[in-house]
């Protein structure tokens, strides 16, 4: 989520970013092809991360409390939009 903030530090960032984006698109296309409801948290996490919010542990790939909060908010919105909860 912080790739945009680390471009100057990682020379191969564009190649890595392209691979991640391709994986994300393939996954979402698979969901559509199987009529599965899939929620992509990437846009929400990326937007908040680019604003400077720290969503991950400093030496870990897992979400911290703030990251879990963002994920929970997005999941809640998704479930409401699908009329699965009120």
**6-65 per-position pLDDT tens digit:** 666 666 667 777 888 899 999 999 999 999 999 999 999 999 999 999 999 988 889 999
CA angle 75, 79, 81 (to 5 degrees): 115
pTM: 0.74
Domain ranges of the chain: 3-81
Q: Closest Cα to residue 55, out of 17, 1, 13, 5? A: 1
Question: What per-residue confidence (pLDDT) applies to 20?
Answer: 86
What's the full length of the chain, in residues? 86
């Amino acid at each position: 989520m912080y790739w945009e903030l680390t471009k100057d530090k990682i020379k191969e960032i564009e190649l890595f970013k392209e691979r991640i984006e391709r994986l994300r698109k393939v996954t979402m296309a698979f969901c559509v092809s199987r009529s599965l409801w899939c929620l992509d948290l990437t846009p929400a996490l990326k937007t908040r991360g680019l604003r400077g919010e720290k969503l991950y542990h400093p030496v870990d790939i897992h979400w911290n409390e703030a990251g879990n909060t963002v994920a929970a908010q997005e999941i809640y919105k998704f479930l409401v939009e699908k009329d699965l909860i009120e």
